Homo-oligomer: A and B are copies of this chain.
Amino acid sequence: MSDKIRVGIYGAAGYAGQDMVELMLRHPNIRLVFGTSSTDAGEFIPYTDLRYIPPEEAIIEDADLVVLALPHGASAQVAKQALDAGVRVIDLSADLRLDTPEAYKTWYGLDHPYPELLNAPYGLPEINRDNIRGTLAVGAPGCYPTTTLLGLYPLLATEALDPGAPVIVDAKSGVTGAGRSPKANTHFVEVYGNLTPYKTGRKHRHVGEIEQEMHKITTQCGPLIFTPHLLPVARGLMASIYVTLNPTMTSDRVHSLYTNHYADEPLVKVLPLGADATLRDAVLSNHCAISITPVTETHVLITSVTDNLRKGASSQGLQCFNLMYGFEETLALI
């Protein structure tokens, strides 16, 4: 046991935290040393003989690495404390994702307490693998950004989009994405039989994150039009992405662009031409599934789906973990 990496999870009873516990228990090189929860302190962590402890009782130095499944704002505090103590960090919140305190202020309305944390690499391995390897801290992407960016990446990287046309993302997410604390909008009766757009018109915080990462790849693309919807299901996220190509590309070549680009990515599955990715192609899996539909010569629909708690949160965090410690990237994930 002594050579296993000791991991502590903050927010271990939330939906992403629960998933992270389950995944980590299957990893041969991880030993879970604590899981915190304000609401469930004292109860057993499922599949373990540990009990949740209140976050203030966690001794951060007991861990070699901490996973932060906390609200934004709270995460930065623990991340700072961990790094000061020489403990590595995988942050599933937004506190390590954006590149500048200005962007953080814009999208989250807060002054970032420790702007140096924003130097952590963006934890999307398929796009940023080299920077994640061996790092001490990583900001794992949000579920919408992961699904959208993986769906767009080959077209962005080849600068194949018409910069005069918007990138339209009509996204639909299961309710686990809204977190475990009860609110009016997650009451069963409000969700059941319903479909609810929310934070429409570039108001969702993930817009900033997605555009930031898009623009690192290329500035040759139009504005992001992003509409999230709450779906009456527990898990799964679908991004229906509508793009306009520039003259360097035609819609009938996009599918082969994607199959080639992702040929060596075990956690991205490009479906055969003619198939449409459904939510269930990703639910309870650790991968992103993508289908390509040419619509006109210059317009393409890309349907990208993930499990919002897995490739959209916990399994992506674990993929980063493997890169941080030099393990096989997909260890415990396929």
Interface-located stretch among A126-134, A138-146, A191-199, A258-266: A191-199
Residue from B183, B195, B201, B283 in contact with A278 in the complex, judged by beta carbons closer than 8 Å: B195
The reply to whether the CB of A186 lies closer than 8 angstroms to some CB of chain B is yes
The reply to whether the CB of A1 lies closer than 8 angstroms to some CB of chain B is no
Residue from B176, B192, B235 in contact with A234 in the complex, judged by beta carbons closer than 8 Å: B192
Residue from B235, B277, B295, B296 in contact with A197 in the complex, judged by beta carbons closer than 8 Å: B277
The reply to whether the CB of A242 lies closer than 8 angstroms to some CB of chain B is yes
| Contact across chains for A187 and B189 when beta carbons are under 8 A apart | no
Q: Give CA–CA (A187, B192) in the complex, Å.
A: 11
Give this chain's copy count: 4
Contact flag A194-B280 (CB < 8 Å), given A166-B296, A189-B175, A301-B201:
yes
Q: Give CA–CA (A198, B279) in the complex, Å.
A: 12
Q: Which residues of chain A from 147 to 196 have any CB-CB distance to chain B below 8 Å in the complex?
A: 165-166, 168, 170, 172, 175-176, 180, 182-184, 186-196
Q: Which residues of B contact A198 (CB under 8 A)?
A: 276
Q: Which residues of chain A from 257 to 296 have any CB-CB distance to chain B below 8 Å in the complex?
A: 276-280, 283, 291, 293-296
Which interface class (under 10, 10 to 19, 20 to 34, 35 or more) fits A? 35 or more
Determine how close the nearest CB of chain B comes to the CB of A330; give it in whole angstroms. Answer: 15
Q: Which residues of B contact A314 (CB under 8 A)?
A: none
| Residue of B whose beta carbon sits closest to that of A165 | B165
Q: Give CA–CA (A202, B198) in the complex, Å.
A: 27
The reply to whether the CB of A225 lies closer than 8 angstroms to some CB of chain B is yes
Determine how close the nearest CB of chain B comes to the CB of A24; give it in whole angstroms. Answer: 18
Determine how close the nearest CB of chain B comes to the CB of A273; give it in whole angstroms. Answer: 10
| Contact across chains for A189 and B196 when beta carbons are under 8 A apart | no
The reply to whether the CB of A42 lies closer than 8 angstroms to some CB of chain B is no
Determine how close the nearest CB of chain B comes to the CB of A252; give it in whole angstroms. Answer: 11
Q: Give CA–CA (A180, B200) in the complex, Å.
A: 26
The reply to whether the CB of A233 lies closer than 8 angstroms to some CB of chain B is yes
The reply to whether the CB of A123 lies closer than 8 angstroms to some CB of chain B is no
Q: Give CA–CA (A192, B192) in the complex, Å.
A: 9
Q: Give CA–CA (A186, B190) in the complex, Å.
A: 10
Determine how close the nearest CB of chain B comes to the CB of A199; give it in whole angstroms. Answer: 9
Contact flag A293-B183 (CB < 8 Å), given A195-B172, A276-B196, A278-B195:
no
The reply to whether the CB of A316 lies closer than 8 angstroms to some CB of chain B is no
The reply to whether the CB of A319 lies closer than 8 angstroms to some CB of chain B is no
The reply to whether the CB of A15 lies closer than 8 angstroms to some CB of chain B is yes
Residue from B176, B187, B200, B303 in contact with A276 in the complex, judged by beta carbons closer than 8 Å: B200
| Contact across chains for B301 and A15 when beta carbons are under 8 A apart | no
The reply to whether the CB of A8 lies closer than 8 angstroms to some CB of chain B is no
Q: Which residues of B contact A306 (CB under 8 A)?
A: none
Q: Which residues of B contact A301 (CB under 8 A)?
A: 200-201, 225, 227
5 intermolecular pairs with C-beta atoms under 8 Å apart: A172-B195, A192-B234, A194-B233, A195-B236, A225-B242
Chain A positions within 8 Å of B, measured between CB atoms, are 15, 165-166, 168, 170, 172, 175-176, 180, 182-184, 186-198, 200-202, 223, 225, 227, 229, 231-236, 238, 240, 242, 244, 276-280, 283, 291, 293-296, 299, 301, 303
